[in-house]
Amino acid sequence: MSNIPEINADELQDALDSNKEITIIDVREDEEVKQGVIPTAEHIPLGNIPEAVSSLDQNKEYVMVCRSGKRSMNASEFLKENGFQQVQNLKGGMLAWNGELVF
């Protein structure tokens, strides 16, 4: 079992509504993000996370997102293993997201 905390869609929407400093990283593939992403989300496909990790700020808070929550959990665990302390996974992924999307 993972030790990565999960945030649900409502909690993430509340964080966005209150302008909380949080960085959302969408790890889905290019074709998937064409269907829409959470506003402010940064797109880094899962396969690119290892090379992108050096450009991420370990002092920021991250929420990792994918379609259902599995790939983003893998990405969350990878960040945690590389020294990131403030990492959460979006429980249920984009399937659970009912908020606004940008294309």
Angle at 52 between CA 17 and CA 26, to 5 degrees: 35
Of these residues, 7, 24, 66, 73, which one is catalytic? 66
Concerning whether 53 is annotated as a catalytic residue, the answer is no
Angle at 25 between CA 22 and CA 27, to 5 degrees: 160
For CA atoms 47, 59, 61, 35, the dihedral sign is negative
What is the set of active-site residues? 66
